[in-house]
Amino acid sequence: MKYCHTCSNELSIKTPANDDRERFVCESCGEIHYQNPNIIVCSVPCYEDQVLLCKRSIEPRYGRWTLPGGFMENNETTYEGASRETLEEACARIRIHGLYTYYSLPYINQVHMFFRAILLDLNFSAGAESLEVELFREKDIPWDEIAFPAVSNTLKHYFNDLPRNIFPVHSADIILGKDKQRLIVPHDSAV
Amino acid sequence: MKYCHTCSNELSIKTPANDDRERFVCESCGEIHYQNPNIIVCSVPCYEDQVLLCKRSIEPRYGRWTLPGGFMENNETTYEGASRETLEEACARIRIHGLYTYYSLPYINQVHMFFRAILLDLNFSAGAESLEVELFREKDIPWDEIAFPAVSNTLKHYFNDLPRNIFPVHSADIILGKDKQRLIVPHDSAV
């Protein structure tokens, strides 16, 4: 970020009055350009004892399996965003049951929210960002080929909770350890 | 948003390739300027049967009562953000127990997350954005002077759940009705 998007003046980095951290500030028009985390909204589309996964046709993690999801857009709710992403990536229609897991990823300024959902029909197919879309039972999940740690963690919770059919909200922080390894730090266990 | 913050060229509004909606696009350097919802992280600081509220010393809603909270910042987790805001607004130290309520507000592109917490001590006081900070029992809550609908709704859930001492996650969308009245549309009741 180098220029003001309101007046095109070159930006400064300084701590505004009544603030406690540096921001991009325009000293010409006065605008402060805040930068804040983004929300990734995802679904866990369920059918009987199976979960729908998408094999990614885009980077990052081309060829790896993920739950459908993506950036929440302006003018939509979390449920609308997760449903839209599921339709786009898996051509699948869902009904959302509620938030199931969420993760803070401070090293990339994202919060990932996963919503448990039921598939409304089995007419799913690969959307533009997917190579394949497939239902998996627990024993068939390609654990070594999952795209993102939040997806693996959500799937583990899901198959752990499935026998009791009780799905409390689980949450964790995902941080970078040494060697940039991603570590999952669970919050105190859900009630 | 009028100018590219990377190269200062004037921006166009167009739908990029492989996208389905209009964005601010720089036709000089190619950068797409996405705009996405922000996260507001708040706490519900509890002490015995009381909750800590802050009387706002800033607009919007100057003089009204709110739970401590504000924009989640880059490089922090949701828990860190809610704890930071509680320290800033109420000079109060908390331990977070977990997510308690969350709301989508698509008309202002925000998601509000409220975390249930216990006060670690009673040495709270008004921070820079508060006129007063006070513990309230249910019967003393100034219901007609609460700043935001998500705060009222969270407090109602809290005092409703308190007798059982079980705090499931509650969620809703807050949308604009006619006359710009804000309507709370609860998701299916939490399990």
**What pLDDT digit, counting tens, does each position of A33-69 carry?**
999 999 999 999 999 999 999 999 999 999 999 999 9
Average model confidence (pLDDT) across chain A? 96
Tokens 């979960």, located at residue: A51
Asked whether the beta carbons of residue A167 and residue B191 sit closer than 8 angstroms, the reply is yes
Tokens 């701590």, located at residue: A15
Average of per-residue pLDDT across A65-75: 98
Secondary structure element (H or E) that encloses residue B12, with its range:
strand B12-14
Q: Which tens digits make up the pLDDT trace of A163-181?
A: 999 999 999 999 999 898 9
Q: Which residue of A has its CA nearest to B188?
A: A97
Q: Which tens digits make up the pLDDT trace of A103-118?
A: 999 999 999 999 999 9
Complete domains list, chain B, with CATH? 1-35 (2.20.70.10), 38-186 (3.90.79.10)
List of chain A residues whose C-beta atoms are within 8 Å of the C-beta of residue B36: 38-39, 71-74
To the nearest whole angstrom, how far is the Cα of A141 from the nearest Cα of chain B?
27
pLDDT at B189: 53
Proportion of chain A above pLDDT 70, given as a percent: 98
∠ CA B58-B61-B67, rounded to 5°: 85
pLDDT at A8: 96
Q: Which residue of B has its CA nearest to A127?
A: B18
Proportion of chain A above pLDDT 90, given as a percent: 96
What are the φ/ψ torsions at residue B92 (nearest 5 degrees)?
-120, 140
pTM value?
A: 0.96
List of chain A residues whose C-beta atoms are within 8 Å of the C-beta of residue B169: 98-99, 169
Q: What is the ipTM of this complex?
A: 0.95
CA gap A161, B24 in Å, rounded: 43
What are the φ/ψ torsions at residue A79 (nearest 5 degrees)?
-65, -45
Secondary structure element (H or E) that encloses residue A55, with its range:
strand A50-56
Q: What is the pLDDT along chain B (191 residues), one digit of tens a residue?
A: 999 999 999 999 999 998 999 999 999 999 999 999 999 999 999 999 999 999 999 999 999 999 999 999 999 999 999 999 999 999 999 999 999 999 999 999 999 999 999 999 999 999 999 999 999 999 999 999 999 999 999 999 999 999 999 999 999 999 999 898 999 999 975 44
Three-class DSSP category at B83 = helix
Cis amide leading into A60 (omega within 30): yes
Asked whether the beta carbons of residue B36 and residue A72 sit closer than 8 angstroms, the reply is yes
List the structure tokens of A34.
Answer: 């805040």
CA gap A158, A19 in Å, rounded: 41
Q: Considering only CA atoms, which of A162, A187, A161, A158 is closest in space to residue A174?
A: A187
List of chain A residues whose C-beta atoms are within 8 Å of the C-beta of residue B4: 3, 5
What is chain A's length?
A: 191
pLDDT at A18: 86
Residue A189 clears pLDDT 60, i.e. is over it = no
Asked whether the beta carbons of residue B106 and residue A191 sit closer than 8 angstroms, the reply is no
